[in-house]
A and B are shown apart, each in its own frame.
Chain A
Amino acid sequence: MEDIRHTSREYERELQEIRDGLLYLGVLTERALERGSQALLERNSDLARKIVREDEQIDRLDVDLEEKCIRLLALRQPAARDLRFITTAIKITGHLERIGDMAANIAEKVIILNDLPQIKPYVDLPRMVEIGRGMIRKSLDAMVREDIVLAKKVREEDTVIDQLNDQVFRELLTFMMEDPRKIQVCLYIMQISKSLERIADHAEGIADMVIYMVTGKSVRHKPASAEQG
């Protein structure tokens, strides 16, 4: 009896380690995004280079976490809820790793942009960063609290980012048509905007996985508006 209890406690600890690992990864990606935005606004290329360097850490953590999940699957043979959690965790860490990559991509573009003249003050991009960060945070909060309502809210926020992305695109289009010398800058900004839009998609992916984890139902590839109650 003693032995079983000990084992289950150990098992609980391992599950918690995975949960904490996801949160850790989430904070890192959030920080990378936030710093990217700061580097852009303050034209701070050193900070941007730091983000690119630190992406390595995110990649490494992703591999570690995935390994932990697979070990747990193999050794403990979890069932039902735990099984769903671990498979979800594997997916979420993948999403977070991709977000980290996107953030690094953004940082790279920021480095280039910082060497070019600024054509306009950035308004929409920092907003997108804020919303994106919020989505990552909320989707992971939803995971911790097993809160489907929050997860669904994250899904809805994705549309805001999409709209902002379109808006940025249209605005830049006018800039480019006005003055071909601005095309280079505009293209980089567009890539950043696109990356932010992809980040939001990944955050939505995390939220989808949380919904699956809690309810056991898959909502992937379904629009947020079609989702009922």
Chain B
Amino acid sequence: MKIRLSHKFIVAFLVIGVVAVTVAGLLIERELKTDLMIRIEKEMAVGARIIALMPAGEITRQAGELAERTRVRLTLIDAAGHVVADSELGDQETDGHLNRSEIQEARLRGVGKAVRYSHTLKKEMLYVAIPLREGSRTTGYIRLSRPLTEITLAINGIRGVIFGIIVLTVIALLLIALLFSLKMLFPIRRLVAFTGKVRAGDVSGALRLESRDEIGLLSENINEIVTTLQEKIQTADEEKRKLESLFSGMSEGVIVMDAENRIELVNRGMEEMTDRPCEEVIGKTLLEAFRNIGLHNALERFRERKETVYEEISLGDDRSVMMDVTISAVRGETGGERKTMLVFHDITHLKKLERIRTDFVANVTHEIRTPLAAIIGFAETLEQGAFEKPETARKFLRTIRENAERLNRLVDDLLTLSSLELGEAKLHREGVRIEEALDQVLAVVQTRAGEKGLTIRKELAGELPLIRADRDRLAQILINILDNAIKFTPIGGTISVATSSGEEDFLTVRITDSGVGIPKGEIPRLGERFYRADKTRSREPGGTGLGLSIVKHLMMAHGGRVIIDSTLGHGTTVSLHFPIFRDSG
């Protein structure tokens, strides 16, 4: 229990006050008492002297009356010490008064006094005696006595007054102390409250104290400290916020592991990459959190070598996310605690591009080798004598030419593609009537469709706007798509070509076949060069595997889009969105 400063203050004040007033009161009382006694003694001595002027017989006779008048006890004692007369006792004889101290003092000094308990009257009495003289001979003594109770009563009266004064003083002191402590302690209380608030962490606001004394100075100092603190905290907060937003905003995933190899911190990038909320992984080991052996092994290797480790790992339940992870020690740590930081970089996209590139090279060589092998083979056979049989020789030569043509087409397509990709292809864009372009193209493909027994239906919606396209390229696009449709539609199927201008700035050409369809998962990859949805399908002569790729790039160059939608076993719809031609544009 804390003792309040104000309590201490009041108690100290009271003790000092009470002691001072009490001491003063006691001194006054003693002084007054002494003074009173002296006065009464003198009074009695004067009275005794007056009585002594009377003749002795007269005193004896009138003792009672005298005593009654002066309300004192009067005793007349002869020289031998016998009581001659006593106002209280009448004529009763009492002896041996000579050795009483007041009588002896009276004989020696002329006046004697004493305070003594009287056995005769059973009271504390004040005695005053004087001798009766005739010439130089002492004939007796007159003694006046008064009970002390009278004096005590008077003294008690004074005591009451003194006590009253003490009580009043104490009350006054109490009030003063209270006021004073309030006035003095109020700022201190506010200081205490304010510093308490600061200690609890609230550094807002300042202390306003009017006082000009040390407390005022103190409060000013505290204000200054708090202001500095405020600034420091604000700076730290800002820094923290900056770091936090950097940490959570960066696209790389970051994990910080503590010395016990448990996950301590995970940023948002990591959460998004792995689809695991941070509360699910914090406090766990890497294996517990991600179940990834590659990651675990990389960390083990880091722990062994104690140097930065780079590793490629695949994450996710189906291992589809490729990550480049860098494991390094967290620097700037004092003390033995060793933390580890893992930075993850998503390289799925890069990996995919890399795969497309290697696939491309492999595919190109494959596509080139097949016709080349045929050419070389047939040429060798001819060389070895087949040319002597004109029938066979013609057949072989035709095959050689066909394969050479296929090679030529492949090279053409590759050139088209690369010029498209490089953005070098020049498009002569003008307003083109889609109906005309379609008629032209359909005339070309009609024979091939006819051979397979396919019907091509044309469903053109009335009046169509012009599209902005390069005539030749447009034909190329349409032929490629229609070729595919014919290729993948079984005998007797139908292909429909429809147009609509549903969208504001685009005209859509939909080419739907009733063919084999494409699995959903393969659709996004169709635009890749040489990509084939059905890997087991033998490569049909004539296709270079670049058709859709070229269409995709051509459409992009036109500012349009290709959307492929397909149901396996039911057919495929290719939607070509062409931008509409505007005179001003």
Which residues of chain A have a CB within 8 Å of any CB of chain B?
Answer: 12-13, 16, 19-20, 23-24, 26-28, 30-31, 137, 140, 144
Contact = CB atoms under 8 A, between A and B. Distances in A.
A20 B291 contact: no
Given A13-B260, A16-B285, A144-B284, A137 B296 contact: no
B293 A144 contact: no
A71 B257 CA distance: 28
A24 B296 CA distance: 9
Enumerate the 8 nearest inter-chain pairs by beta-carbon distance, A residue then B residue, closest first.
A23-B287, A20-B287, A144-B288, A27-B293, A27-B291, A20-B285, A24-B287, A23-B288
Nearest to B262: A16
Interface string B285-299: 101100111001000
A30 B293 CA distance: 11
Q: Among the interface residues B284, B285, B287, B292, which one has the most CB atoms of the partner chain A within 10 A?
A: B287
B291 A23 contact: yes
A26 B291 contact: yes
25 contacts: A12-B260, A13-B260, A16-B260, A16-B261, A16-B285, A19-B285, A19-B288, A20-B285, A20-B287, A20-B288, A20-B296, A23-B287, A23-B288, A23-B291, A24-B293, A24-B296, A27-B287, A27-B291, A27-B292, A28-B293, A31-B293, A137-B291, A140-B291, A144-B284, A144-B288
Nearest to A16: B285
A30 B260 CA distance: 27
Contacts of B261: 16
A13 B292 CA distance: 20
Nearest to A20: B287
A19 B296 CA distance: 13
B284 to A, nearest CB: 7
A184 B228 CA distance: 86
Contacts of B292: 27
Interface string B257-291: 00011000000000000000000000011011001
Interface size range on B against A: 10 to 19
A60 B291 CA distance: 19
A64 to B, nearest CB: 14
Contacts of A24: 287, 293, 296
Contacts of B285: 16, 19-20
A95 to B, nearest CB: 17
A144 B280 CA distance: 12
Nearest to B285: A20
Interface in B292-329: 292-293, 296
Given A13-B260, A28-B293, 5 more contacts: A16-B261, A19-B285, A20-B287, A23-B287, A144-B288
A19 B291 CA distance: 12
A30 B317 CA distance: 11
Nearest to A28: B293
Contacts of A144: 284, 288
A15 to B, nearest CB: 11
A144 B284 CA distance: 9
B578 to A, nearest CB: 40
Contacts of A28: 293
Interface in B551-578: none
A27 B292 CA distance: 7
A31 B297 CA distance: 15
Contacts of A27: 287, 291-293
Contacts of B296: 20, 24
A24 B260 CA distance: 18
Contacts of A140: 291
Interface string B195-235: 00000000000000000000000000000000000000000
A64 B403 CA distance: 62
A204 B259 CA distance: 35
Q: Among the interface residues A12, A27, A140, which one has the most CB atoms of the partner chain B within 10 A?
A: A27
Nearest to B291: A27
Contacts of A26: 291
Contacts of B260: 12-13, 16
A114 to B, nearest CB: 15
B264 to A, nearest CB: 15
A31 B296 CA distance: 15
A140 B288 CA distance: 9
Nearest to B294: A27
A160 B285 CA distance: 32
B296 to A, nearest CB: 6
Nearest to B292: A27
A39 B285 CA distance: 31
A96 to B, nearest CB: 13
Contacts of A31: 293
A14 to B, nearest CB: 12
B292 to A, nearest CB: 7
A77 to B, nearest CB: 23
Nearest to B317: A137
A28 B292 CA distance: 10
Contacts of A16: 260-261, 285
A182 B293 CA distance: 40
A16 B261 CA distance: 10
Nearest to B289: A144
Q: Among the interface residues B260, B284, B291, B296, which one has the most CB atoms of the partner chain A within 10 A?
A: B291
